Amino acid sequence: MDRATALQQMREACNQVAREVTQMHKLAPALEDSSTQAEVFKALFELTKQVEVVKKHLLRLEKRDDSTLL
């Protein structure tokens, strides 16, 4: 597998994780327990942050110029 394919597949996976986290966020109020909801929301926020970190690193790698010509 080449870099471009890996980047594309990882980006798609990040988007899928983000969609699932959003879906979980919508379901949390149905738990009807404020302390559990608070912990779930905190965990989902952390997941979202980490997915964004991955996406940022993928973008940086994608834009990086690996050429040796100056």
Residue spans of alpha helices (H) in 1-70: 3-27, 34-63
> CA gyration radius for the chain?
17
| Per-residue pLDDT reduced to its tens digit, 13-50 | 999 999 999 999 999 999 999 999 999 999 999 999 99
Q: What is the pLDDT of residue 64?
A: 83
- Domain map (residue ranges) of the chain: 3-62
Q: CA-CA distance, 43 to 27, in Å (whole number)?
A: 14
pLDDT level of residue 65 (50, 70, 90 thresholds): low
Q: Cα 60 to the chain's mean position, in Å?
A: 15
Say which residue the tokens 């990882």 belong to.
10
